[in-house]
Structure 1
Amino acid sequence: MAASTRIAVALLVTLLTLVASACSTKRTALVAPPTSAPIRHVLFNGVRVIIEEHRTSDVVAVQLWVKAGGRDEVANELGLAHYLEHMLFKGTPTRPGRLIDREVEGTGGRMNAGTSLDFTYYHMVLPASRAVAGVEILADIGVNASLDEPLLEAEKRVVLEEIRLGEDSPMRFLFKKTYESVFDGHPYGRPVIGTPELIRALTREQLVRFYRRLYSPENFTLVVVGAVNPDQIRDVATRAFSRLPRGGTARLPAPPIADLKPRAVALPRPGTQAYLTMAWMAPKLDHADTPALDLVVAILGQRRASRLTEALRERLGLVNSISAGYTAMEAAGVLTVTAQLETDNLARAEREILAEIQRVRDGGVTEAERERSVTAAEAGREFQMETAEGRAFTLGRAETVWRLEDELLYLDRLRSVTIEQMHAAARRYFDPERYVKVTLVPSRTR
């Protein structure tokens, strides 16, 4: 049966079902499963616990967030936060070998982890009945990881391959070089994944020192979202995490961010297409200008009908793709405009990007553009919060790098932004004279 026929039949069946339901004398109202407001609790040793009852399905997302990322490394520790992330699920004295894998995957669950410049987080999705086990596993790996020497050495091959794949990806390589240039001399300018030289020379003693220094209750946030009883989860979290003694060492604040030094970096790259990124320094996550700048960036280049896409791709045909981005971190932010294009179009594309930005700086945006951007942000938020996993990520990141209450109110802040505030933000941060430009040029043309 053709796909279109299958769809038509499915629609007909759905329609008949709806008609039958409407004609029935017994009508059942469709009520969305309940989602309670998140509950925040701080244990005596500093562990923060966030629980949200979310009953759209019989699953639970359990996550451990740690205030330990690439920015917490000293020069000879580059890549340790990421390497430690690889090692924590590989066993503890009470869960040796692959016991954690079997415990999670044996129930149909899954687990993974991620590292950024500001944080590391460990996440699981499990049947709701296994929520207690998930909490206990995360409490165990949080401070009791074995970090066995043979496994550490074997994992070097995995991380080195990950580094190689990152170098092979034009976009990853481009953004690595962009951050190096924007945050020159700052930890935000260093690659989270490390370097091959440091990974090859890494010892267990180095990793254990980093682990002991930063993996302490004061730096932990446990997030549990799903079909759970909040009171039960709070009791379980208290029992599992209250056993951990305080570390006594607070995380150091990120170093101050230096003023951006305008520069142009051109690098040869195998391939047939050129890549261009233009970057500006931007405010950090909790800055008052962040909502206005979020909306400006959406208007410039985050949709198919955005200004940069309409001008440079659709009207002028200068680029194959173009987008704008705003990454707001705990200590700073960065604005980017990124394009893939033919080498011969690089100079003109840069001029046209600046011209489009100047139009926003001079004339601002329209009320219709503002409304569309707010609507897009609302839809994006709904998609992000659709699953237990997405909700847990949003809550955990907020508690770790800014404030939970601000995250919960962020959409209201976006809705209240005026076109005058957006105009002011564009003029303040998109300086046409002060930006970093990084280009990857096909090596065959150089």
Structure 2
Amino acid sequence: MLFKGTTTRPRGFVDRDVEGVGGRMNAGTSLDYTFYHAVLPAPRAVATIEMLADISVNSILDETELELEKKVVLEEMRLSEDSPQRHLARQFYGVVFGSHPYSRPILGTADIIQTLTRDTLLAFYRRHYVPESFALVVVGPVNPTETLRAAERTLGRLPRSGFQRLSGSAPASLTPKRVDDPRPGAFAYLGMGWLGPRLDHADTPAVDLLVSILGQSRSSRLPQSLRERLALVNSVGSDYTAYEAGGVIMVTAQLEAPNLARAEAEILRVVQRLREQGVTDAELRRAITQAEAEHAFRSETAEGRARLLGHAETVWRLAEELAYIDRVRSVTSEQVRLAARRYLDPERYGRLAFVPPAR
């Protein structure tokens, strides 16, 4: 909605002022924050700061445009549900996070979107889109003095609202839960998971490496055991997402429905062996190398670097982001084993399976 016109910029300003000079502009929302990003030629940096400041406080939120945008969001919801992997991940948060706000879908529900009014949207906009909530990140071959002056002249002059952003409460301890959800399709999809440490926790680097060793490459333990050795799954992997108030560790697999019980048991056996025996030096070195490569890839462009720094400045700390890879490099094999014992309890986990109907 913020791209649909402001009090001084008519509808279509993105096409004219951004795409018309070879740039692009978009937005996204996570469970912790919303971000707006633009990639344009460096000489357009000041004009882009002015544009971002304008849409941040002067968007008109036209009612006709709102009704059109609601249809777009409802279609996004439908498409997400069409993808078993994406839908599993989203539904799984409800299993792991329980009543915590992280269990709620980012897009909301169809009922909420359908009944959303301009008055409700405008009230949210006025409450949350205030200078105390903004973080501006500019990366590229720009003039620092001119850039700072532009920020001070625009965002810096906005009247303060007194709004204070509250830190999110930590999720309660996980209540073991098992859910089987019938879903048409050729394959079953299995999700198993645990609560993990929050973004700024001292254990976060060790858990990142733990999850990499578990299932983020073909040589990781879960793919080697479940796919290559036992042929129980078509694919299997692990993931760890750290948020401001908590984190989630997930193992997901695509497989034939008759293999669900055996696959779940084997995943738990792999986890238990890791808890008891730890990881090898070779596994740790590979995981650290993979973390270094992924971080370098995410930050190799101006856009990627801006996103990393903006994320840190908004819900983390900039100094922690800049030092993170060094912290990863300092993790020991014993710290990874202790992280497995602390977070991967084979007796307490959430489980969600999409199961095709019997043939």
TM bin, normalised by shorter chain, reads: over 0.9
Instruction: State the SS of the aligned residue for 1:226.
Output: coil
- Report if aligned partners of 2:170, 2:246 keep a CA contact under 8 Å in 1: no
Work out the CA distance in 1 between the residues paired with 2:211 and 2:112. Answer: 37
Instruction: State the SS of the aligned residue for 1:443.
Output: coil
- The Cα offsets for residues 137-167 of structure 1, whole Å up to 9 and x where unpaired, read as 1011111111011111111111111111111
Aligned equivalent of 2:65, options 151, 156, 179: 151
| TM superposition shift of 1:444 | 4.1
Aligned to 1:347: 261
Work out the CA distance in 1 between the residues paired with 2:11 and 2:358. Answer: 49
Work out the CA distance in 1 between the residues paired with 2:118 and 2:357. Answer: 40
| TM superposition shift of 1:318 | 0.5
- The Cα offsets for residues 386-434 of structure 1, whole Å up to 9 and x where unpaired, read as 1000000000001111100000000010011111111111111000000
Work out the CA distance in 2 between the residues paired with 1:416 and 1:429. Answer: 20
Instruction: State the SS of the aligned residue for 2:224.
Output: helix
Structure 1 residue identity aligned to 2:30? S
Structure 2 residue identity aligned to 1:360? L
Instruction: Give runs of aligned pairs for residues 170-319 of structure 1, distance below 5 A.
Output: 170-319=84-233
Structure 1 residue identity aligned to 2:250? T
Instruction: State the SS of the aligned residue for 2:2.
Output: helix
Instruction: State the SS of the aligned residue for 1:303.
Output: coil
Task: Identify unmatched segments of 5+ residues in structure 1.
Answer: 1-86
TM normalised by structure 2 equals: 0.98
Larger mean CA deviation between 223-232 and 399-408 belongs to: 223-232
Work out the CA distance in 2 between the residues paired with 1:379 and 1:172. Answer: 25
Q: Tell me, yes or no, if structure 1 residue 129 matches structure 2 residue 32.
A: no
Instruction: Give runs of aligned pairs for residues 39-118 of structure 1, distance below 5 A.
Output: 87-118=1-32
Structure 1 residue identity aligned to 2:112? L
| TM superposition shift of 1:281 | 0.7
Instruction: State the SS of the aligned residue for 1:224.
Output: coil
Work out the CA distance in 1 between the residues paired with 2:327 and 2:47. Answer: 38
Work out the CA distance in 1 between the residues paired with 2:79 and 2:113. Answer: 15
Instruction: State the SS of the aligned residue for 2:253.
Output: strand
- Report if aligned partners of 1:270, 1:444 keep a CA contact under 8 Å in 2: no
More strand by share: 1
- Report if aligned partners of 2:3, 2:11 keep a CA contact under 8 Å in 1: no
| TM superposition shift of 1:443 | 2.4
Q: Which runs of 4+ in 1 moved over 4 A?
A: none
Instruction: State the SS of the aligned residue for 2:139.
Output: strand
Structure 1 residue identity aligned to 2:66? L
- Report if aligned partners of 1:128, 1:227 keep a CA contact under 8 Å in 2: yes
Larger Rg: 1
Work out the CA distance in 2 between the residues paired with 1:107 and 1:146. Answer: 24
Instruction: State the SS of the aligned residue for 1:100.
Output: helix
Work out the CA distance in 1 between the residues paired with 2:143 and 2:346. Answer: 53
- The Cα offsets for residues 222-250 of structure 1, whole Å up to 9 and x where unpaired, read as 11101111122111111111221112111
- The Cα offsets for residues 11-43 of structure 1, whole Å up to 9 and x where unpaired, read as xxxxxxxxxxxxxxxxxxxxxxxxxxxxxxxxx
Aligned to 1:410: 324
- Report if aligned partners of 2:191, 2:252 keep a CA contact under 8 Å in 1: yes
- Report if aligned partners of 1:321, 1:339 keep a CA contact under 8 Å in 2: yes
| TM superposition shift of 1:342 | 0.4
- Report if aligned partners of 2:215, 2:236 keep a CA contact under 8 Å in 1: yes
Aligned equivalent of 1:357, options 246, 250, 271: 271
- Report if aligned partners of 1:100, 1:137 keep a CA contact under 8 Å in 2: no
Percent identity between matched residues is 61
Task: Identify unmatched segments of 5+ residues in structure 2.
Answer: none
- Report if aligned partners of 1:182, 1:436 keep a CA contact under 8 Å in 2: yes
